[in-house]
Structure 1
Amino acid sequence: MPNTTTMNRAPKTARIRARATAVVTAGLCASVALTGAAVAAEGAHADVFASQTATSLAEATQAQAQAQEKAADVAEKKAAAQAAAEAEAKAEAKEKAWVTPISGDFALSATFGNSGDRWASTHSGQDFAVPSGTEVHTVHSGTVVKAGGNGAGDGPAYGNAIVIKHSDGTYTQYAHLSKVEVKVGQTVSTDQEIGLSGNTGNSSGPHLHFEVRTTADYGSAIDPMKFLRDQDVSI
């Protein structure tokens, strides 16, 4: 006779094991599902973060570029303003300065006060021995008051000449020129070319005759070398 207790017990054990397996399987499935969802959520978050980072980087880069461009513009304007100020200061300093009438090489020949057969009285200026065609420059800024042949009104002995009035009330004369490049009434700056040296008038050879005067006319000359040295001109 079969043992009913044994027969009934075995199926029960199998049923318990089957249930446990089902529970474990369901748990694993749920765990896998949750893990997948978490991974998917993390991936989505990462995509959003990456997108936000790229946008932020682009905005930061653009802002940096704009800041650099603005800084460069400010620096450029500052440099331009400084250069303009320096140029203006240099120009002002130049206008206040006095220079020699010949900027290149020259030899000093007849000096102020010399006497002899070449002059009706004593020599009224300083001669700069240079080849004809040498550039002649004004020693200081001023206004042309005389210009042309016949000594610009001072007599044929001077040949072609120029007389310039300066702001301190003195006048300078440039004579024996081969060419006059300025006109009466014209404003000239310090060291501006005003003519070319020559051998016109009562001249024994090409040179520039230079005078410093107290008036625009002949007869008021003073020692030009002393005057220039008093103005800190190295000559």
Structure 2
Amino acid sequence: MSQRTLSRLTRPSALRTRAGVLAAGLGVSSVLGVGAAFAATGGDHAAPAAGPSVSAAVASADAVHQQAVSLKSDADSRAKLAASWSVPVKKYTLSATFGRGGSMWSHKHSGQDFAVPVGTTVRAAHTGTVVKAGPNGAGDGPAYGNAIVIKHKNGTYSQYAHLSRIDVRVGQAVTTGQKIALSGNTGNSSGPHLHFEIRTTPNYGSAVNPVDFLRSVGVRV
């Protein structure tokens, strides 16, 4: 067989091989969306065309997943924190606010007043231990009437004043929402209400804004 005849016979086969390789490369590219397509030029294969790194895509997806897990964890933490604190009374009207001036107080108002009828159930705003309970403001002065102070594990104290009845004793452990007293109008009071404070110590003069504090722990007031 002559050299010319052999050339004519082998040329279509080579063309078919190149077309097959090209089709295979395009198929892989269209299926994966990334990777390499090979084109046959002359007798050599071209270098693979680089696509987005698979490992980079996996890392990106993992980062998104971790962010979602973190957000859910934060939301769960806020929900648990809010559930661990509560307002001391239900169905109230906010009256005298923290820091308010007036003739009722020798200094600015040291708590938040919750206007409620006499005999309304007063509940512990958070788990803790009773450190003060009794008349004369439980030692803080007659202006508070009957009062209770509870120490909490986070270093804060809650105070409940102008009570008509006290249902706990010093040293008693209480839980969030537990009934501790009945509201009243004792002491220096302009009308039936609960005077509520958040303090940094058990004593008068260390109060912070109780509404701001409750909101900071997720309680709606």
Task: Give the SS at the match of 1:169.
Answer: coil
3-state DSSP class of the match of 1:113?
coil
Runs in 1 of length 4+ with deviation above 2 angstroms? 93-96
Name the CA distance, whole Å, in 1 between partners of 2:181 and 2:102.
28
CA distance in structure 1 between the aligned counterparts of 2:81 and 2:220, rounded to whole angstroms: 15
Report what 2:108 is aligned to: 122
For residues 181 and 94 of structure 1, the distance between their equivalents in structure 2, rounded to whole angstroms, comes to: 26
- Contact kept? 1:95, 1:190, Cα under 8 Å: no
Q: Which amino acid aligns with 2:217?
A: Q
Match in the other structure for 1:147: 133
Report how far residue 97 of structure 1 moved.
1.2
TM-score between both structures, scaled by the size of structure 1: 0.59
Map 1:147-186 onto structure 2 (within 5 A). Answer: 147-186=133-172
C-alpha displacement at 1:96, in angstroms? 6.2
User: What letter corresponds to residue 119 of structure 2 in structure 1?
Assistant: G
TM-score, L = length of structure 2: 0.63
Alignment of 1:194-209 (within 5 A): 194-209=180-195
Structure 1 residue runs of 5 or longer lacking an equivalent are 1-92
Matched, 1:101 2:76: no
- Give the 3-state SS of the residue equivalent to 1:227 in structure 2: helix
Maintained 8 Å contact 2:97/2:113: yes
Structure-2 residue corresponding to 1:37: none
Q: Per-residue CA shift, 1:117-158, capped at 9, x if unaligned?
A: 111010000000000000000110000000000000000000
| Contact preservation (8 Å) 2:81, 2:217 | no
Letter in 2 for 1:157: A
Distance 1:214 1:94, change over 3 A: closer
Task: Tell me how far 1:192 sits from its aligned partner.
Answer: 0.4
Cα distance, 1:95 vs structure 2: 9.7
Question: Aligned residues: percent identity?
Answer: 65
Query: What is the one-letter code of the residue matched to 2:88?
Result: P
Contact 1:101-1:136 within 8 A present in 2 as well: yes
- Deviation (angstroms), 1:207: 0.2
**Paired AA for residue 217 in structure 1:** N
Q: C-alpha separation between the residues in 1 aligned to 2:215 and 2:83?
A: 15
Which residue does 1:210 correspond to in 2?
196
